[in-house]
Amino acid sequence: MKFDCPLPFNDNEKINLAHGGGGRRMARLIQEIILPHFPDCDVENIHDGAILEFGSERLAFTTDSFVVTPQFFPGGNIGDLAINGTLNDLAMCGAQPLYLSCAFILEEGYSMESFRQVLVSMGDAATSAGVGLITGDTKVVDHGKGDGIFITTTGIGHVMPGAMIDPRRVQSGDVVIINGPVGDHGMAIMCQRENLAIQGELASDTRTLHEETAAIINQFGEDIHCLRDMTRGGLATVMNEIAQTANATIHLDEGSIPVNAPTKSACELLGIDPLYVANEGKLAIFAAAGIGEDILETLRKTNRLNRPVIIGRVGNLEGPRVILRGVLGGSRILDLLSGEQLPRIC
C-alpha cells in the first residue's frame, strides 16, 4: 500500500478553510484545480497581479476579495483593507496605482450604518492614495447566505518605466529587507475575534506601500529584483514562494526579524508563530548585494512608519528552501504550512 500526504484531491472532496489559508493546501487548489482551466493565467504565481501590454505601456492588473472577520478591528476595517490591499498588490508589480473598481456582496439584514462606515473608510483610503474608485457593482444575498459584507477590489496601475520586478531575478548574494515588525495585522484580528485583552497597543498595520516602492524603484531601478507584501501566510510563506520561483536558498536571521511586544505576547498566548501571521503594511524586498543600507535609508526617509531591517540574504542556488538561523545559533528549515493558521484574516 502507498500513502500520499497530504491526501490527493479527488472529486468527492469538499472545500475547507485550509484552501483559503495561504499554505500548501491553497497552493495545491490553485495549481491543480483552478489553473488547468485558465491557461493564460500567470502559472508561476510570479506576482500578486498580472503585467500586460496595453498600447505602448505596461499595465498591472490585480484583484482580491476581502472576507475578513470581524469587519471592524483596531487599526482599520474591511473597507480600508480592501483598498490598501489591492493598491499594495499593484505596488508589488512595480506599478503606480491609477484606478480601482469595487464589488460588494451584501447580506440581507446588514446594518446600513456599518455599510456607511465601511464606505467612509474606502473613500478616505482611495483619496489619500490619490486613486479613483471608478466603477463598481452591488449584489445582495439572502440572510444566512453571506456574512454582512464581502468586498472585491480590482486595481489597474501603470508599471514604472524603470521597474524590473520579477522573483526569477532573485539571485545569489541578494539582500533581503523588510520594512518593519511582522504579525501585527493578523494578531490584531485574532485578539479582536477572541476578545483577548493584550497589554499595549495591538493594531492592524494596514496602509499603502506604493510611495515606498516608487522611491526605491526610482532610486535603484533594476537593482530591485523582487517586491512582495507579506499578507496571507506572513513572511514565512512569502519567502517560500519566492524561493520556489527563483529556485533559490534564502537564509534568514531570526534575531533580526522584529516583532512588536504586544504581537509577541498574543502569539505566545495563542501558540502562533509570528513569521506565519499576515501583515498588511509590510513588504519584503530582494535587491542586489551592496545597496542594502541605501535602501534602508530611502525607506526611512519615505515614511517614518518604516523601521526597515536587513533580515537575510540569498545563498548559492542549492535548491528552493528557506533556512532560518535561530537566536541561539541553530538553523532550521522554515517550511510552508500545510493548512490554515488564521482563517479569514483578509
4 binds a copy of itself (CB under 8 A): no
Residue list 207-246, contact with a copy of itself (CB under 8 A): none
- Rounded to an integer, what distance in angstroms lies between the CA atom of residue 327 and that of residue 127? 43
At residue 64, the 3 state secondary structure works out as strand
Q: Which of 50, 259, 270, 310 binds a copy of itself (CB under 8 A)?
A: 50
Closest CB 96 distance from a copy of itself, rounded Å: 12
In the shown chain, the binding pattern of residues 156 to 195 toward a copy of itself, with x for contact by CB under 8 A and - for none, equals: x-x-------------------------------------
**Cβ-based nearer residue to a copy of itself, 137 or 335:** 137
Contact window for a copy of itself (CB under 8 A) among 3-11, 191-199, 293-301, 327-335:
3-11
Rounded to 5°, the CA angle 80-121-145 comes to: 70
103 binds a copy of itself (CB under 8 A): yes
52 binds a copy of itself (CB under 8 A): yes
Beta bridge partners of 39: none
Closest CB 41 distance from a copy of itself, rounded Å: 6
For 304, residues 6+ apart whose C-beta sits below 8 A from its C-beta are none
108 binds a copy of itself (CB under 8 A): yes
For residue 94, give the nearest of 247, 230, 228 by alpha carbon: 228
**Total residues belonging to the chain:** 346
**Cβ-based nearer residue to a copy of itself, 154 or 306:** 154
46 grid coordinates: 510570479
Closest CB 197 distance from a copy of itself, rounded Å: 24
**Cβ-based nearer residue to a copy of itself, 129 or 257:** 129
At residue 248, the 3 state secondary structure works out as coil
Q: Which of 28, 42, 218, 303 binds a copy of itself (CB under 8 A)?
A: 42
Q: Which of 61, 73, 276, 286 binds a copy of itself (CB under 8 A)?
A: 61
Q: What is the DSSP pairing of strand 249-253 with strand 321-325?
A: parallel
Contact yes or no for 298/216 (Cβ under 8 A): yes
Indicate if the alpha-carbon torsion angle 262, 268, 269, 274 is positive or negative. Answer: positive
Closest CB 4 distance from a copy of itself, rounded Å: 16
Residue list 127-146, contact with a copy of itself (CB under 8 A): 132-142, 144-146
Contact yes or no for 283/213 (Cβ under 8 A): yes
Residue list 326-345, contact with a copy of itself (CB under 8 A): 343-344
- Rounded to an integer, what distance in angstroms lies between the CA atom of residue 281 and that of residue 111? 28
Closest CB 326 distance from a copy of itself, rounded Å: 33
Residue list 293-332, contact with a copy of itself (CB under 8 A): none
Contact yes or no for 282/180 (Cβ under 8 A): yes
Q: Which of 72, 107, 253, 325 binds a copy of itself (CB under 8 A)?
A: 107
Contact window for a copy of itself (CB under 8 A) among 108-116, 174-182, 200-208, 243-251:
108-116
Residue list 6-35, contact with a copy of itself (CB under 8 A): 9-21, 26, 29-30, 33-34
Contact yes or no for 80/121 (Cβ under 8 A): yes
- Rounded to an integer, what distance in angstroms lies between the CA atom of residue 291 and that of residue 293? 6
- Rounded to an integer, what distance in angstroms lies between the CA atom of residue 170 and that of residue 168? 5
